[in-house]
């Protein structure tokens, strides 16, 4: 299973690099789906994670009083000093990187790539074709984290059903859609709601109002 997840991580990073290649300067400056970050900053963050090592991250965390979000933001802005071309090249070189927070599963790395890939391409009306088998192992992890880690309100009151793989979870009104769109909703990415069906979608919309 570990080798399979690692293969998915590598393929998703390489696919994202390919999708970023044709973007122009205005595209890189577009606000992403990750609040407060441009497409350039999201990609810089992904590169920083792909290249990451534990000792420098712990040092940066200590400097921030062990506050994770400010640490990640500062590191992303440092990485964003690189040009888009440099970031794409570095993403390809680090495509098999496995850095993650202590105790976090390897699937969390895959989730970062999937969600931030959508963060960067979604606002540009672009999308990578993500096979559902690459998303399915991440869904249970984000299901556990969604409410607390991402503040995805309402997801605990609905049943999520993937229409392109065998995954489902929860109770209540159904929310049906592709695995990748369910993952994005669990990560609190509101634009994905428009691609979902079922009576539970309104529950999620109400929760975010």
What's the pLDDT score for residue 152?
A: 84
Q: How far is CA 194 from the centre of its chain?
A: 18
CB 203 within 8 A of CB 196: no
Q: Which DSSP state fits 168? A: E
Taking the chain (209 residues) in consecutive chunks of 10 residues, what is each chunk's mean pLDDT?
A: 91 98 97 96 97 85 84 93 98 94 86 97 95 96 79 90 96 97 95 96 88
What's the pLDDT score for residue 148?
A: 67
CB 185 within 8 A of CB 193: yes
What's the pLDDT score for residue 147?
A: 67
- Nearest to 20, CA basis, from 87, 96, 81, 74: 87
Torsion of CA 129, 134, 137, 140, to 10 degrees: -10
The tens digit of pLDDT for each residue in 129-177 reads: 999 999 999 999 999 876 666 778 899 999 999 999 999 999 999 999 9
What's the pLDDT score for residue 113?
A: 97
C-alpha count within 13 angstroms, C-beta hemisphere, residue 18: 9
Q: Which DSSP state fits 159? A: E
What's the pLDDT score for residue 51?
A: 96
CB 183 within 8 A of CB 138: yes
The span from the CA of 204 to the CA of 190, in Å, is 9
């Amino acid at each position: 299973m570990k080798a399979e997840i690692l293969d998915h991580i590598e393929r998703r990073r390489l696919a994202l690099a390919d999708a970023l290649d044709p973007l122009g300067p205005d595209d890189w400056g577009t606000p992403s789906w990750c609040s407060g970050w441009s497409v350039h900053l999201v990609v810089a963050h992904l590169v920083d994670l792909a290249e990451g090592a534990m000792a420098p991250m712990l040092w940066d965390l200590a400097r921030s009083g062990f506050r994770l979000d400010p640490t990640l933001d500062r590191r992303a802005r440092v990485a964003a000093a690189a040009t888009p071309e440099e970031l794409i090249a570095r993403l390809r070189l680090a495509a098999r990187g496995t850095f993650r927070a202590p105790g976090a599963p390897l699937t969390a790395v895959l989730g970062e790539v999937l969600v931030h890939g959508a963060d960067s391409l979604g606002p540009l009306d672009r999308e990578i074709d993500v096979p559902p088998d690459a998303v399915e192992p991440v869904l249970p992890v984000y299901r556990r984290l969604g409410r607390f880690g991402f503040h995805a309100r309402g997801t605990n009151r609905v049943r999520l059903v993937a229409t392109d793989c065998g995954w489902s979870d929860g109770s209540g009104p159904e929310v049906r859609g592709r695995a990748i769109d369910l993952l994005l909703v669990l990560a609190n990415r509101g634009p994905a709601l428009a691609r979902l069906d079922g009576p539970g979608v309104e529950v999620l919309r109400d929760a975010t109002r």
